[in-house]
Amino acid sequence: MAEEIKAAPMVTGEQLETMLQEWDTPLVVDAYATWCGPCLLMSPEFEAAAKDLEGKVRFVKLDTDLEPQMAGRLGIMGLPTLLFLDKNDDMEAVEQGKAPMAVLKERIEGALRKDSIDEEINGGVRLDACNRGVSRPVAIF
């Protein structure tokens, strides 16, 4: 029986490092563990989103138990964690250490132009604060 090709494949820390060096589209990382109940519940929705946004956004999964060094580098403190990353085109700011290489995609396109932000907050999704000077990815729990 052939293995099903996933729209959101599992990656190693090394593969993720390569993706972070060679940006082509925004990247969403699902940091998870196989023992994490909420991670398992979210998995089908993550795969569905990956299929819906194929070609626009790249979705990958990182098993934090298998890749503890990468999880630490990304600042993963709880599971599940989704990281929304995009390339920062302001290379001068990046070189001066004033902006991170990976930034939240303009705060998810202005929270989709703020039309749905109240729904997101009331739906239990929490966005952590983010400044352009912060050098770690922003996590959505």
Q: Which amino acid, 65?
A: D
> What is the DSSP pairing of strand 102-103 with strand 139-140?
unpaired
Active site residue 130: no
Q: Which of 33, 36, 111, 140 is catalytic?
A: 36
Q: Which of 8, 39, 71, 99 is catalytic?
A: 39
**Are residues 94 and 120 in contact, defined by beta-carbon separation less than 8 angstroms?**
no
Partner residues linked to 140 by β-bridges: 82, 127
**Are residues 58 and 27 in contact, defined by beta-carbon separation less than 8 angstroms?**
yes
**Are residues 100 and 94 in contact, defined by beta-carbon separation less than 8 angstroms?**
yes
Residues marked as catalytic: 36, 39
